[in-house]
Structure 1
Amino acid sequence: MASKPSNTCVVNQLRQLVYYHLDNNLLKNALFYAERLAAIDSRSTESAHLLSQCHLRLGDYGSAFEYSKPAGSRGGQLGCAYVFAQACLALHRYKEGISAMEKSRALWGAKNNFGRHTATSRQLLPDAAAATCLLGKLYHGYEDRIKAIRCFEESLKLNPFMWDAFTSLCDMGVHMRVNNIFKMNPEMEAAIKAIYPEDFDSQSSRGSTLSTMPEQERNRPSTRPTSVVSETPDPFNHVPTRGFAGGLFGTLGMSQKLNESNPSLTNIPAAGGGGIGPEAMETPTGPSAIIDATQNRRDPGIVSAYSTEAPPAPARKTRTLQGLGMDFSVDAPKMSRGISTKRSQKLPMPRAVPYEEHVEESAAAHALRSNSVSSHATQERKRTISGQVVPRQSSEDPGAPQRRSVRLFNQIRPTSTKLSSATSSVGPPGGRELKKTRQPISKIMRPNSTTSTVGRQVSGNRKPVEQEPMDVDQRETSSRSWVGTVTSIPPLKTLEPDSVKQEAALKFLLDLFKTFGSGYFALSKFECADALQLYNQLPRQQLETPWVMAQIGRAYYEQAAYVEAEKYYRRIRQVAPTRYEDMEIYSTILWHLKRETDLAFLAHELIDSSWKSPQAWCALGNSWSLARDHEQALKSFRRATQLDPSFAYAFTLQGHEHVANEEYEKALKSYRDGITADKRHYNAWYGVGRVYEKLGSYDKAFFHFDAASRINPTNAVLICCIGTVLEKQKDPRQALAYFTKATDLAPRSTLTRFKKARTLMALGDLHAALSELNVLKDMAPDEAMVHFLLGRLYKSLRERGLAVHHFTIALNLDPKASQQIKEAIESIEEDDEDYENSMTA
C-alpha cells in the first residue's frame, strides 16, 4: 500500500495545475482545481488569490469579490488585494477598492516587472505601474478627478507603455506633452541590464548606448543618476519638487512621492520599507530565475540595480609569475579554450575565424591561477601546425624554461595594454603560440586540409589563402609582417550585444507609440486635421489595422466629412467583420448619408454576430430611426443602455428620438443620463441645449451649448448654435462674432454662412452680406432660401431687376413658398410707387 503523500507536495501539484490551465485559457478547469486547492490549503492566501483570479477571468465579479475579500480588503496579500480591487471596479464599489489598494501599497510600491514576462516565465502579481493604473481607474469611478489624474501620471512615469493610463488621461481632457511621455526612462534601462547583465562589463558599461546620463555623471558611480522626468519638462505640466526616480531604483519610493504630491493620501509607508517580505516576491512559474529583492536593494544606482555580480577589477599591469619563469601580460590571449568567460559563451565567434580573439582579463588571471588539472587540460588541447595533438612534455611542468614561441610573442606584442573588444574581434594577434590554440576545425574543412583562414574577414568575403610549407623562421617573419599591417585592414562589424538590440527595439516601439499617442491626444481635443496628419505618418501595415482606421474614420466624422469616413468604416467591415467597437459611429454616418439599405444590412449583421453589444443595438436603433419608426428605435436604444449603463452615446441617441416625438422632458432625462455616464460627451450637452432652445429658455440653452463648445472647440455646429441663441436674444453683434468663427472653422458649411449673411443684413452691412451670399450661391445654387435672401438684399440696394430675378428663381425652386415670394415681389412694386410719390410731392 502506497504511503500517504506529503500535504506540501499535493498543494504544489494542484498549484501547478491551476497555473497550467490559466496559461492555456482553460478557465473552468483552472477554477475546478483552484477550488480543490482552496479546500486542501484553506488557510493560504495564495490559494484564495488563485480561486478569486479564476472567477475574475470568467467574468464572475461577485464571486471574485467574495473570495478575495478576507485577505484583499485589509491589504495583507497583494494578489488578493489586486483581484479584489478589480472586482470592485467592475461592481462600481470604488471606495472599497481604493481602500484595499492603499492598504497594500507597501507590497507593490517598489515593484517593477518590466521586461520580465517571457514565454517561459510569468509575473502573476502586479507591479507599481499596473497597480497605480488600477488605482487611477478606481479614483476616476469615485469621481475624484485630481487623484485619478495623479495616479495615471505616476503609472506612465513608471512605464510609458501603460496605454490604458494614457488614453484615460486623454479621455479626461488632461493637457500633456506627449513627446516627453513615450521615451526611455531609468526603470526600463535597469530592466534591460537585469536581463542581460553579461553585456555590461567594465568597458561596455562606460560606453554603452544605454547610458543617457552626462559623462560626468557616468564617471561617478556614487552619484545617483537623474531620471528622465527631471531632465526634460514634465509631460503633465506639473512642477515637481524633486526628480522622479521611481520604484525599485531610487532612494525614494513611488509611494513616498505620491504622498508628497498628494497630502490627502495618508498612511502610505515608504517604498523602501515594504515589499521585502514573502508577499512582495513574484511567484515563478517557469524555469527563469527570479532576482532576489535583497540583491536589488544593494545599490540604489541605476546601473547596478539588478546586478548580481561584483564590479570588474581594474586592469592589471604586466608582471612576472614566479614559478613559471616568464612574463605574462593580461592582454595576451587565453592559453586554454577550456577556460572561457560568460561573455565568450554568450557571443561565440563565427567558424571562419580560427583564433581565440575575445580577451577577458578575468579569464586570463583565472587561467594563470588554475590548478594542475586545468594545466593538464590546457596541455592536451594544444595542437601542431597539421592539427595533431601535442604529446605531453616534461618541459611544460612548472619551473621549466620559457618557450621560444612565448618569447617571440612578447617581442612582437603591441605597445598598448588595453585592447578594446572591437580591436580584439577584428583580427588575431600574431604569434606561433596563437596558432596552436586555435578553435577546432570547421566542418567544412578536412582535418588534414592545407588551407588556412588567417586574415579572413568575419563576413567571409575574402578567398582563403593557401598555406605553403615553410620553416619556423619564415612563419615568424610572416607573423610579424601581418601584425604590422593590422591597422590597414578596414574595421569589421562586431557582434552586437543583446542588450543593445533590445534597447533599439524599445526605442523603435516608443517612437511608434509616440505617433499613436500624439494622434489619439489630438483627436481627444478634436483637432481632427492634426490627428489625420499624424496617423498618416504611420507605416502602411499599421494603417491597415482596424483600430487606426477607426480613429481616422472618427476624425472625418467629427469634421462632418461623412463620405470619407464611410470609406474607412466600410474597410473595417472587410478587414474585421466581427468587430463591433465603433460601429455605432458607422451607423450614424450611414444615417446622415441616408443609406437606408446599407444601414439595415449593417444592423442585422451586428445583431447576428454580437447581439449582446450595445453598439449593435445602436445600429439597429439608427436603422429604425431612418425608417421613421421612432418607437422601435427607442426600444433598441433602451436595450443598448441596459447592456452597458456607461454607454453615453446610446442615451444621446435615445434623447434625439424623444425630440423627434416632441417628448422634451423624456429627452432631457436621456441627455442628462448621457452626461452622467460621460461628462465629456459633448453630444449630450448639445442635446440639452437644443431642447431648452425649443422651449424658449435661451439662457439655459446658451449655457449647455457653451459647455459643449468648450469640450469640442472645433465644432462649427456648436458655435453656430450659440450664435443662433444670441440672435434670438436680440444680440446680433455678439451673434455675428460666433457666426464668423463658425464660418472660419467650416468654410464649406452652407448653414453657418447663411446665418452670417442674414445677421450682416440685420446690422445694415449690405455689401459684406452680398459678398457672403454670392459665395453661398455658388456653393448651393439650388437652395431657394439663398435666392430669396438675395432678392431681399437687392431690394434693399434698390436694384429692382436683380431682386425680381432672384425672387423668380426662388419661386421656381420652392413652389410651396409661392405666397411669401409673391408678396415680396409685390412689395418691390409698392416701394417703387412710394418712392415716385415722394419724389413728385
Structure 2
Amino acid sequence: MFDRFIAVYLSANLCDKFGICLCMFAMECLLIDCVQNSLQHLLYHNAIFMCERLCSEFPSETNLQLLAACYLQSNQAYSAYHVLKGTQMPQSRYLFAISCFQMNLLNEAEAALCPSNEPSAEVPNGSAGHYLLGLIYRYTDRLKNAANQFNQALSIDPLLWSAYEELCKLGAAGEATSVFGESAAECIEKQYLSHDVGPQLQASSDDHSVVSGRQVTENISPRKLRHLHGNNIKDNSSNHNAAVFSSRPAASQPNNGVHANTPFYNTPSPMVTQLSGVSHSPPPIGRNMIPNGPTSSSVCADASPKSTVKSTIQAPRRKFVDEGKLKKISGRLFFDSGPRRSTKLAGEGGSMANISGITVAGNGTHHSSKHPTTSKLGSAAFRSVTIRKGQSWSTETFNEGVQSELDDTRSNTTTTTTTTTSGSSPPPDTRSCEHDCSMGRASMSVSKVASGALEVLSLLRIIGEGYRLSCLYRCQDALDVFLQLPYKHYNTGWVLSQVGKAHFELVDYLEAERAFSNARLATPYSLEGMDIYSTVLYHLKEDMRLSYLAQELISTDRLAPQSWCAMGNCYSMQKDHETALNNFQRAVQLNSRFVYAHTLCGHEYVALEDFENGIRSYQNALQIDARHYNAWHGLAMIYLRQEKYDFSKHHFQRALNINPRSSVIMSYLGTSLHALKRNEEALAVMEKAIVADKKNPLPMYQKANILASMEEFDGALKVLEELKEYAPHESSIYVLMGNIYKRRLMYDMAMLHFGLALDLKPSATDVATIKAAIEKLHIPDELDDNL
C-alpha cells in the first residue's frame, strides 16, 4: 500500500516536471515561429522585438544568431556586430563576418571567417563563406587569393552566379563552357539528389510541392503529405541555425562546404537540454545531414523533440502514471488530448512545426549597383521554416484525430499510428509496396533534376560567356554571344543593360541608348546600368532626356548611387561642375565601393582644374577596382595636361592593357609618345587605333598632326581630306589644314580653311585661337615662335 502511494506521488511530480519543461519548450518554439513569420512578411521591427524576448527567456548562441539575422535584414549591421562579437559557432562567425563587411571592417570579417588560432578550420557556410572571403580579399587588393576563393565557391555551388561575375570583373574567369559544363551538372545532381531534392521529390509526384528535407524517414501518411503540400512549405533546408543569406531558394544550395557526414553542431537551447530523458545530439546545420538511403524517402512524424520525449519516457510512464492525468497534462500543454497533435505539429507547418530544428534558413550572396555584394550581402532573403495555416490547436478535437487516422487507413498507403492506444506498425506488404512506389518516383525525379540542371547550365553558359567577354572588353564578341539567348531572356533588363554597356565601350552611343531605353521599358524599377545610361545621354547631348532620367531615378530610389550619378551628369552637361561634384560625392557617400562614382568625381575635379583632388579620386577608384581603366585614363589625362609625358604614357599603357581594343586610349597613348619625340611608335599606335575603330576621328586627326610635325605635309593633308568625310563639322580639322597650308606658304588656301573653321561656330577658346592664326598668317612660324 505504501509502495503504491509512493508511486502515485512520484508519478504526479514527474508529470508536473515534464509538463513545465514541455510548456517552456513550446514557448520557445512559438517565439521562434513568430520571429520567422515576421521576417517572412518583412515585419522587421516585430521580428526584432520578439527575438529579443526569445533571447532573454532562452539565452543561447543559436537564438542570438536569429536576433543578428533580424538586425541584418533590417539594415542594422552595427547591432548584429555587437550581438555576435565573441561567438564561436560557424554560423555565428559567418553572420558576424557579414556585419563586419557591411561596416567596412574587413580585417575583422576575415578573422571571423579564418580564425588565426584555427588555421585548418573550414570557412563557414561553404560556397557563401568562400564568396564573402573572396570579396574581402578583393577589396584588400589580394586579387589572386580573391580569384581562388571565388573558384572554390563555384566548385561547391556551380549556380553561385555572383562568384563567376566577380571572377569576370577580375579578368580571371574561365570560359563559361568549362565552368558551367558537365562537371557542374554532375555536381548539381549529386548535391540535389543525394542531399535534398531527391528525397523530397520522392514524397510526391507534384514538382511544386517540396517537403522539408529535415522531415525525412520511412513512415508517411497521406494526411501528413496533404498538410505539408497544402501549406506550401518553401524552406527545404531548415536547420537549427539562424538565417543565412541567399540569392536563390534554399533547395538550390550546395553542401555548404561540409561533407554529408561531418555536420556543424550548434549550441542547443537550454530548454532542450533540460528535458530529462531526451538523448539526442543537437541538430546539424544545413541540409548536409539529411539521411541517405531508403529512409530518406518520406516524412518523419516523430523527428521532433516532443515526439522523442514521448517515445523515451513512455515505457516508465506506463508503470506508474495514470492515463487520465497524462491526458489532462497533454490537453493543458497543447490544447488537445490526442497524440495526433505531435503529427500535426511536425507535419502541418504550424507554429510548432519541425521542432527538431526551427530556425530561419538561408544562405550567403550584388546589389545592382555594386556586387554583391555586390553585394547580395546587404539585402539577403530570409525564408521561414514554418507557416501557420489551417485550424488553430484549440479548435481541433480528439475526434478529428480519430477520424483522420481512419481516413489515413482507408487511403491504401502506409500509416504511422502514434496514439498511445495503438502501437502497431503497417503490414510488411504495405510498407514494401510504398517503398517500390517511392523508388519509381525517385528514378523519375533523377531525370527531371538532370534535365533541369542541363537547361539552367546551358543558359548560364551563354550569359556567362557574354559577360566574360564584356569584362575583357571584347565587346563585339560579347554582343554576338548575347544574341544567342532566347528572346525572353535577351529582353530582360539585366541582359539589355549589358548590351548597352558593350555598345558604350564601342563608342556606339546611339545603339547604347537604344539598348538602355529598352532595358528601362523591360524593368523600369531596375537601376542596373543606369549610371552608364546617363553618361551615354551626356555624350549624345540629350539634356532633356538626361534630366528626365535623373528625376525618375531619384524618385525610384534616392539612396542608390546610380540615381545621383545621373543627377551629377545632368548638372555637368549644364557646366555646373560644383553641383555635379556634390552629386557624385553623394553617390560615393551612399556606397563607398561604387567605383564609377569616384571616377566621375575625378572628371569634375579636372573640369574645375583641381588636379590634386582629381588624382585622389582616380586613385580611390583604382583601390576598389584595379581593372577600372577609366581611372587609369583619367590619371593619364591629368599628367598629359601637366606635361608629365612619361607618367602620362605609363598610365595610358596601363589602361590599354585592360581595354586593348579602345581606339580612344590608343590615340592618347600615341599623343604621349609624340610628345616624347617617339614619332615612329606614335604612328604605329595611331594606325592600330584607326583599324580598331574607323568611325573614331581622333586617331586620324592625331596621325595627321604627327605627320605635319614630321613635315610630311602631303601625307597629312591626304589623311585630313579623308577625315572630313567622317567628321565634316569638326572645326579642328580645318584649323590643322590651315596651319599646314600656311607652312607651305599657300596663304589663300590657309585663309580659306581658317574661315571654314570659324563658320562651324567652334567654342570661344577655339575662336580666339583661329583669329590669332589669321592675324599672324603672313608671319613665318620661326618668327612667330620667337615672338
Task: Tell me whether the two structures share a fold, i.e. TM-score over 0.5.
Answer: yes
One-letter amino acid matched to 1:31: I
1: CA distance, partners of 2:757 / 2:563: 43
User: Deviations along 1:153-186, whole A, 9 cap, x unmatched?
Assistant: 1111121111111111111221422211012434
1:590-609 equivalences under 5 Å are 590-609=537-556
What residue is the counterpart of 1:188 in the other structure? 188
1:87 — aligned with what? 99
Question: Which residue of 2 is the match for residue 35 of structure 1?
Answer: 52
- Whichever residue aligns with residue 574 of structure 1, its letter is L
Q: How does 1:652-731 map to 2 (within 5 A)?
A: 652-731=599-678
Q: Contact (CA 8 Å) 2:97, 2:113: kept in 1 or not?
A: yes
Letter in 2 for 1:130: A
Q: C-alpha displacement at 1:51, in angstroms?
A: 0.9
One-letter amino acid of the counterpart of residue 588, structure 2? T
User: Which amino acid counterpart does residue 190 of structure 1 have in structure 2?
Assistant: K
Residue equivalent to 1:136: 134
Which letter does structure 2 place at the counterpart of 1:527? R
Give the distance between the partners of 2:708 and 2:32, measured in 1 at CA.
81
Q: Quote the offset at 1:688 in angstroms.
A: 1.6
Q: C-alpha distance in 2, partners of 1:560/1:597?
A: 21
Q: Greater shift after overlay, 697-706 or 664-673? A: 664-673
How far 1:31 moved relative to its partner? 1.8
Q: Which of 481, 488, 500 pairs up with 2:447?
A: 500
- Select 1:165's aligned residue among 163, 166, 170: 163
Alignment counterpart, residue 179 of structure 1, candidates 173, 177, 180: 177
Aligned CA distance change for structure 1 residues 806 and 290 (closer, same or farther; 3 Å):
closer
1:557 aligns with 2:510: no
1:532–1:552: 8 Å Cα contact kept in structure 2? yes
Aligned positions of 1:313-328 closer than 5 A: none
The answer on 1:70 being equivalent to 2:17 is no
Q: Residues 594-629 of structure 1, C-alpha deviation per residue, up to 9 Å, x if partnerless?
A: 112222222222223322222212211211111122
User: Residue 196 and residue 584 in structure 1: after superposition, are their counterparts in 2 closer, same or farther (change >3 A)?
Assistant: closer
Gaps of 5+ in 1: 110-125, 201-246, 256-270, 297-305, 311-372, 377-420, 426-493, 829-841
Query: Could you tell me which amino acid in structure 2 is paired with residue 80 of structure 1?
Result: S
Give, in whole Å, the separation in 2 of the partners of 1:199 and 1:531: 38
Match of 2:386?
Answer: none
Rate the CA distance shift 1:618–1:108 in 2: closer, same or farther, 3 A.
same
SS in 1 for 2:559: coil
Residue 146, structure 1, aligned to residue 144, structure 2: yes
Aligned positions of 1:495-534 closer than 5 A: 497-534=444-481
The answer to whether the 8 Å contact 1:78/1:107 transfers is no
User: Cα distance, 1:764 vs. partner?
Assistant: 4.9
CA drift at 1:805: 6.7
Which residue of the partner structure matches residue 65 of structure 2?
A: 49
SS at 1:196's partner residue? helix
Partner residue, 2:28: 11
Structure 1 CA distance, aligned partners of 2:91 and 2:490? Answer: 38
Distance in 2 (alpha carbons) for counterparts of 1:105 and 1:506: 35
How large is the RMSD of aligned CA atoms in angstroms? 3.9
Q: For 1:362-414, what per-residue CA distance to the aligned partner results, in whole angstroms no more than 9, with x for missing partners?
A: xxxxxxxxxxx9999xxxxxxxxxxxxxxxxxxxxxxxxxxxxxxxxxxxxxx
Change (3 A) 1:512 1:282: farther
| Paired residues of 1:750 and 1:780 also in contact (CA < 8 A) | yes
Given that 2:467 and 2:478 are in contact with CA atoms closer than 8 Å, whether structure 1 keeps it comes out as: yes
Q: Secondary structure at the match of 1:687?
A: helix
Q: Residues 266-415 of structure 1 correspond to what in structure 2 (within 5 A)?
A: 274-275=262-263, 277=265, 292=289
- 1:429-480 CA-to-partner distances (Å, cap 9, x unmatched) read xxxxxxxxxxxxxxxxxxxxxxxxxxxxxxxxxxxxxxxxxxxxxxxxxxxx
Matching residue's letter, 2:190: A
Structure 1 segment 428-577 matched on structure 2, within 5 A? 497-577=444-524
Residues 767-786 of structure 1, C-alpha deviations (whole Å, 9 max, x = no match): 54444233212212343443
Match of 1:188, as an amino acid?
I
2:442 and 2:26 mapped to 1: Cα distance? 46
Note if contact 1:617-1:640 (Cα within 8 Å) is conserved in structure 2.
yes
Q: How far off its partner does 1:790 sit?
A: 4.5
How much has 1:801 moved relative to structure 2? 9.0
The runs of 5 or more residues in structure 2 that have no matched partner are: 1-15, 203-252, 269-280, 298-426, 431-436, 782-787
1:500 to partner: Cα distance: 0.8
Question: Aligned partners of 1:623 and 1:810: how far apart in 2?
Answer: 29
- Say if 2:692 is the partner of 1:745: yes
Letter in 2 for 1:196: G
Aligned-partner SS, 2:75: coil
Tell me, yes or no, if the aligned pair for 2:742 and 2:777 is still in contact at 8 Å. no
Q: Give, in angstroms, the shift of residue 668 of structure 1.
A: 2.0
> Kindly tell me: are residues 662 and 106 of structure 1, through their superposed partners in 2, closer, same or farther at Cα, counting changes over 3 Å?
closer
What is the SS of the residue equivalent to 2:263?
coil
Distance 2:707 2:459 in 1: 49
Contact 2:598 2:620 in 1 (8 A): yes
Post-superposition offset of 1:138: 2.3
Deviations 1:741-787 (A, max 9, x none): 11111111111111112223433555544442332122123434434
Indicate the larger mover: 80-89 or 597-606: 597-606
In structure 2, the partner of 1:757 is: 704
- The match for 2:76 is 60
User: What is the Cα deviation at residue 58 of structure 1?
Assistant: 0.9
State the shift of 1:272 in Å.
Answer: 8.9
Q: Which moved more, 1:189-198 or 1:733-742?
A: 189-198
Q: Secondary structure at the match of 1:679?
A: coil
Asked if structure 2 preserves the Cα contact closer than 8 Å seen for 1:197 and 1:307, the reply is no
TM-score by length of 1: 0.60
Change (3 A) 1:100 1:811: closer
Q: Does residue 26 of the first structure (1) align with residue 38 of the second (2)?
A: no
- Per the TM alignment, residue 546 of structure 1 is displaced from its structure 2 partner at its CA by 1.0
Deviation at 1:740, TM superposition (A): 1.2
1:619 and 2:577 aligned: no
Q: Which residue is 1:736 aligned to? A: 683
Q: Which amino acid aligns with 1:45?
A: E
Instruction: Mark the CA change 1:277 to 1:674 in structure 2 (over 3 Å): closer, same or farther.
Output: closer
Q: Distance in 2 between matches of 1:738 and 1:135?
A: 41
Which residue in the other structure is 1:839 paired with? none
> 1 CA distance for matches of 2:665 and 2:61?
55
2:154 pairs with 1:156: yes
Correspondence list, 1:623-662, <5 A: 623-662=570-609
Shift of 1:511: 0.7
Q: Secondary structure at the match of 1:735?
A: helix
- Contact 1:804-1:825 within 8 A present in 2 as well: no
The C-alpha deviation readout for 1:487-530, integer Å capped at 9, x for no partner, is: xxxxxxx9982221221111011010111111111111111111
Match of 2:720 in 1: 773
Q: Percent identity?
A: 31
Moved more, 276-285 or 735-744: 276-285
Residue identity in the other structure for 1:762: S
Q: Which residue identity is paired with 1:55?
A: Y
